[in-house]
A and B are shown apart, each in its own frame.
Chain A
């Protein structure tokens, strides 16, 4: 079930809340409390716009336990407009549509179901940016 684990991540999963570095201003997602650039403390919250572009992508055919019923599905490294790169599934597009550099935007979707009676985990995925279509 891991209820507290999913509850703890809700701000990140639903709203892309990361952090910004007090010292150099670098934006961080996921939040890690320490700046990747200058190693200073970075605990000020920052909500990302959810806009970015595809940095790399792949299609998963052999899925791990918990995701078997979704395969095949696309996963990408998405470079957010504010700088950080995150790992996320692509949605609302087919394999032929995606290419590196393509503008995408964050949407909230079902990530997986924790068994027949378990919880349904929601979180961010990325779809083609509507403004750019």
Chain B
């Protein structure tokens, strides 16, 4: 198998883009990545997207995006794994290059979710859960994470406020990222006043929806010796429903995918300088840190309290705002994470730049942990 490199990065700022449709957002990010790479044509396009069919009345996004980019005839297909869609598209792009089947691949994550009513958007997102045994009970995605967070607090003796360092770090870092949806730091007082969405989760322990698209141009590493290299790439799955897990406080798919990625890369947690994790909810950030070997079980929140997740900490996370402040256009998120990690490795992260990042890891979570995608990158 050939080693894969990231030659170009393109991002659309996460916003409410009233003037851009799902196809325009995807094409904007795709063109930006092509321009960044100095490449005009590709052999394949993989698009990550979750809700286009339901919220935008548009499926077949592979062909839609190829058409919008003027690349008629090219092989193109959409990958869907709920919030893990873009990470899954990246994985397919890597397989296509590594296998020798393709020489240049464009991977694009896109989501357009701000033009529908709140109940419609919530219902569309909830389709990532078990239709017959979770959704039919009226539980939402926030609700599922609230159930996990309450149990986490109960088993390990935390208060709701103990999770605040995740939100404070994300918002402080998002303020330095021009593509972030929210660009103001928040105070502890702001956190405390956050409206409860699904007890114990308040607005500040949940990420915002948004419109966005992020893209990467992938090539064989042998053709781009100075580009950021992909050291590890792995997807793992778990039971779809939270209630079917032997231990709802353990992300088994995270453990499996990170162990596979560590093995491919020949590295371990101590070698990771930056971790762009999936903080759709603060409790997911804690569980991800634990599953990936940065904290013992139940210690993920403590790690945040100790400041280890800050830009100058032992394992910085959400360096450009994370899902919490950059925003969470669900099917695009996995590629925002990889785009941000790439910019950090290249020293192109601007005000959000972290010094000394040699190896970065990203983890993209679909649903409440049923699909988890891990990537490890090196400059």
Identify the A interface with B (CB < 8 A). 5, 9, 12, 30, 32, 36, 55-68, 70, 73, 75-77, 84-89, 95, 100, 111-112, 121, 123
Cβ-defined contact, B143 with A58, below 8 A: yes
| Main DSSP-derived SS at the B contact region | helix
Known contacts: A58-B150, A59-B198, A61-B196. The answer to whether A87 contacts B243 by CB under 8 A is: yes
Cβ-defined contact, A64 with B126, below 8 A: yes
With both beta carbons as reference points, the residue of chain B lying nearest to A75 in the complex is identified as: B139
Give the shortest distance, in Å, between A72 (CB) and chain B (any CB): 9
Report the separation of the CA atoms of residues A77 and B151 in the bound assembly, to the nearest whole angstrom: 10
Q: Which residues of the other chain, A, contact B146 by a CB distance below 8 angstroms? A: 58
| Contacts A/B (CB < 8 Å), 8 sampled | A5-B132, A57-B147, A60-B140, A66-B138, A67-B138, A85-B248, A87-B133, A100-B150
Give the shortest distance, in Å, between B113 (CB) and chain A (any CB): 14
Identify the B interface with A (CB < 8 A). 118-120, 122-123, 126, 130, 132-140, 142-144, 146-148, 150-151, 154, 196-201, 239, 241-244, 246, 248
Q: Count of A-B contacts with CB under 8 A? A: 111
Cβ-defined contact, B154 with A65, below 8 A: no
Give the shortest distance, in Å, between B208 (CB) and chain A (any CB): 13
Cβ-defined contact, B150 with A64, below 8 A: no
Give the shortest distance, in Å, between B206 (CB) and chain A (any CB): 10
Cβ-defined contact, A65 with B151, below 8 A: no
Known: A9-B132, A65-B120; 6 extra A-B contacts, CB below 8 A, are A30-B132, A56-B154, A56-B248, A64-B135, A64-B138, A77-B248
Cβ-defined contact, B147 with A77, below 8 A: yes
Cβ-defined contact, A63 with B133, below 8 A: no
Cβ-defined contact, A58 with B147, below 8 A: yes
Report the separation of the CA atoms of residues A73 and B140 in the bound assembly, to the nearest whole angstrom: 11
Cβ-defined contact, A111 with B136, below 8 A: yes
The listed residue with most A CB atoms (<10 A of its CB), out of B118, B200, B243, is B243
Known contacts: A75-B147, A77-B248. The answer to whether A62 contacts B198 by CB under 8 A is: yes
Cβ-defined contact, B140 with A62, below 8 A: yes
Report the separation of the CA atoms of residues A75 and B143 in the bound assembly, to the nearest whole angstrom: 8
Give the shortest distance, in Å, between A60 (CB) and chain B (any CB): 5
